[in-house]
Structure 1
Amino acid sequence: MDVLVLGAGVIGLTTAYYLNAGGHRVTIVDRHPEVALETSYANGAQLSYSYVAPLAGPGILSKIPGWLTRSDSPMRFHPSLDPDLWRWCLQFVRACTRQQNVRSTRYLLQLSFLSRALMHKLVDDEPSLDFNYVRSGKLVLHRDANAFASAVGLLEFQRTLGCEQQALDHEACVQIEPALKAVRNQIAGGIYTASEDTADCYRFCVSLEKVLRERGVVFELATDVSALKHAPGGRVEAWAGTRRLPGEQIVVALGCASAKLLKTVGVGVPVYPLKGYSLTIPVRSCGIAPVISVTDFARKVVYARLGERMRVAGMADIAGYSRALNGHRLATLRREAEAVFPEAGDYSAADEWVGLRPATPRGLPVIGPTPIRNLWLNVGQGALGFTLATGCAQLLGDLITQRPTAIDCTMFSLGGRS
């Protein structure tokens, strides 16, 4: 069948890949002249398959007031009159229960482990892909002894969910990643997971575009989808201005732009942007930059090595749809990075970036059909878009083709989220 995929980020491109592999004729549409120029462009670069627990959890609400009053906090909230914002926040508060958090984490781990297997297969099957992919392992760094003790206490529970991790004291943390020597005395301990990867999401998308073009996938870039319109037979059509775009089936994979477009045909999705920031720093030839990926648990900052570059990413601003760079937030991110890895690279030459992560209140993506017979969703991956992309894409391809899915998709559907 002919499938129209709206969105040329990592979610849209991987969706097209699995649909094309299943024998479908695929067209990808995006408003930008090139692929992956929004959320997929300069994200945290960590493929964190074992770290997918939702932000909404039983301990988060007590931290938010303190975060909101500090200008350098990991999370900032900018209130507005937007009813979608307040609806999303109310749903987020309702999701902050232990029962809901554990349930969502179980589903997300199933999805992430599927994604890991598919990414490994994709790398093996497509040797032309060039995207700084490394099976690097990941160290979650704890500065607070109580927080570290709590993390250690969760190891057995994580193991029951399929996560293989180990606790390291501060000396072992520096031994496994010598670039941490500058903060040696600040480390209470760390949780190391060998199965995590790092990669450049933008380069992945650009490489995947080449593969898709070679296999007949059509790209209509610099094409802004202005509306979805109802059509006979309980279907919808996608329009770019006065031009109807071709496609028997339509997949919406537009990240944060999805909610607004879907409203034109009366479909609501609980997606709202969380604004995040990143720096990409050239690594000095004689510098001491991390080799494994590192997450600073207290600061909520992630570090990933991408060849001769280091990606630093973090923060979450609930500030609407603005993509304006906030100099203060970027300066805070730079200070954090310089304190942890002072000799890593040339911070004065850092590339600055901001992106909008399409988040749902429960942290679960929305994958599957809508009440409209030919309209499908692959949205709401939040900060885990790169991590979950392959799994989400294969699941949606199986649903469209009416094949059995590798895991239960109920909690990822619109109808299964109540």
Structure 2
Amino acid sequence: MNIIVLGGGVAGVSTAWYLAKSGHEVTVIDRANSVADETSFANAGMLSYGYTSPWAAPGVPLKAMKWMMQDLAPILVSSSSFNVQTANWMLKMLGQCNEDAYNLNKRKMLSISEYSRTTLNELTNELTLDFDHRSQGTIELIRDEEKLQAIEPDLASLRECGVEHKVISHAECIQHEPALANVAEKFVGGLRFPQDATGDCNKFTLALAEHCRAAGVKFLLNTEINSLEASAGQVIAVNTSIGLLKADAYVVCLGSYSPLLVNPLGFKLPIYPIKGYSLTLPLLDESKAPQSTVMDEAYKVAVTRFDDRIRVGGTAEIAHFDLSLHEKRRKPAEFVVNDLFPGAGDLNNATFWCGLRPMTPDSVPIIGKTPVSNLYMNTGHGTLGWTMSQGSARLVADIINNQEPEIDSQGLSVFRYVK
């Protein structure tokens, strides 16, 4: 088949790879002048397979209200960007904040994440991909004893889902992350996910795109996607800045912008753009830097090590499609990296960035078939697009190929929202 993939982020390029590998003629369309130039450009760098968890959970509304009152708030709501769409999405998310929904959604997400872990391992064995990949686990660092004692409900969920994890002592935190010895008074222990990894999503996507080109994938960059032309229950063309482009099938991998393209077709994608920020610091002193990822539980900020850089990701802002870089949003990331790893990176020469995370109300991505027969989705991964990228791409390729997927795809498509 001739297949058009709409979107050149990590989801789109990965989807193109697995489709091309299975024999299709694939074209990727993106408005940027390079792949991975938007949300995939500077995310936190975590491949957080075990740390996968829905935003919507029992108790989260109350926690979110408390977080927003903090000086270094991990979540913010922009009043200037608040509208009916924002309110509707938040209400849908609140409807998922119960134990049954949380457990169901977590199982779906963990299934994709674990599949992505094995798929990425297979891919890196098959291809030469330079993306600062490390497989040394994640530590959720806990700053006070009360919180350490209160994590048992989370552990029960992890055990139920078969996620490898371990509550580690103060000394074990330092054993895995020696630089924490410099700030030993700052924490009491942690929760470690040994199967988690790290990597630069932008570098990965650029490298995979070169393999895609070698496999015959065509990239149409600097090309605006205006609309989908549909007739008799099928997409017949995509309307772009270079004209109408036709294919046998189409895959939407446009992240937060997916609803703008798809909603006119008669069904709604409940995806909302959650704004996330990151800092990238040149490495100054390796002995003072993390070896993998340390997630500060108190501030919801992740500090991730690349080969010669440190990536710090945090702050979730509900701000619609606003991509303004507000300087005050740097503060949580700057505080955490300086508090836990002082002297490790050059804050004076840090690069500040923001991107839009495509969040569904249940945190589960939208993957697979749609009410339009030749239109498929691979979108809505929220904060876990990098983590879930390979499993999601392979899954949607299997669905398009009418092959039995290696994991259960039930409840992942848009049909869970379509009445």
Mapping for residues 148-227 of structure 1, pairs under 5 Å: 148-152=148-152, 154-227=154-227
Q: What is the alpha-carbon distance in structure 1 between the residues aligned to residue 368 and residue 332 of structure 2?
A: 39
Aligned equivalent of 1:297:
297
Q: What is the alpha-carbon distance in structure 1 between the residues aligned to residue 166 and residue 71 of structure 2?
A: 34
Q: What is the alpha-carbon distance in structure 2 between the residues aligned to residue 145 and residue 288 of structure 1?
A: 25
Contact 2:299 2:332 (8 Å CA) reproduced = no
Aligned equivalent of 1:411:
411
Give CA deviations for 1:293-332 in whole Å, capped at 9, x if unaligned.
1101111000111001111001100001011101001133
For the aligned residue pairs, the C-alpha RMSD in angstroms reads 1.6
Contact 1:276 1:355 (8 Å CA) reproduced = yes
Give CA deviations for 1:23-44 in whole Å, capped at 9, x if unaligned.
1110000000111011100001
Between stretches 218-227 and 185-194, larger displacement belongs to 185-194
**Secondary structure, aligned partner of 2:312:** strand
Runs of 5+ consecutive residues of structure 2 not aligned to the other structure: none
Deviation, structure 1 residue 81: 5.4
Aligned equivalent of 1:115:
116
Say if 2:130 is the partner of 1:130: yes
Q: Residues 69 and 156 of structure 1: is their aligned pair in 2 closer, same or farther, counting only changes over 3 Å? A: closer
**Secondary structure, aligned partner of 2:288:** coil
Deviation, structure 1 residue 242: 6.6
Deviation, structure 1 residue 292: 2.3
TM-score normalised according to structure 2 size: 0.96
TM-score normalised according to structure 1 size: 0.96
**Secondary structure, aligned partner of 1:89:** helix
Deviation, structure 1 residue 156: 4.9
Deviation, structure 1 residue 354: 0.5
Aligned equivalent of 2:372:
372
Q: What is the alpha-carbon distance in structure 1 between the residues aligned to residue 120 and residue 325 of structure 2?
A: 32
Say if 2:84 is the partner of 1:83: yes
Deviation, structure 1 residue 416: 2.7
Deviation, structure 1 residue 366: 0.3
The code of the aligned residue for 2:98 comes to T
Between stretches 307-316 and 241-250, larger displacement belongs to 241-250
Contact 1:236 1:372 (8 Å CA) reproduced = no
The code of the aligned residue for 2:77 comes to F
**Secondary structure, aligned partner of 1:356:** strand
Deviation, structure 1 residue 157: 4.1
Q: What is the alpha-carbon distance in structure 2 between the residues aligned to residue 410 and residue 330 of structure 1?
A: 40
Aligned equivalent of 1:9:
9
Give CA deviations for 1:177-227 in whole Å, capped at 9, x if unaligned.
121124311212101121111000000010001000011000000000011
**Secondary structure, aligned partner of 2:16:** helix
Q: Residues 178 and 3 of structure 1: is their aligned pair in 2 closer, same or farther, counting only changes over 3 Å? A: same
Aligned equivalent of 1:142:
142
Q: What is the alpha-carbon distance in structure 1 between the residues aligned to residue 58 and residue 232 of structure 2?
A: 47
Q: Residues 81 and 145 of structure 1: is their aligned pair in 2 closer, same or farther, counting only changes over 3 Å? A: closer
Aligned equivalent of 2:335:
335
Q: Residues 333 and 157 of structure 1: is their aligned pair in 2 closer, same or farther, counting only changes over 3 Å? A: closer
The code of the aligned residue for 1:385 comes to G
Q: What is the alpha-carbon distance in structure 2 between the residues aligned to residue 272 and residue 243 of structure 1?
A: 29
Contact 2:223 2:242 (8 Å CA) reproduced = no
Q: Residues 402 and 185 of structure 1: is their aligned pair in 2 closer, same or farther, counting only changes over 3 Å? A: same
Quick one: percent identity of the two aligned structures? 35
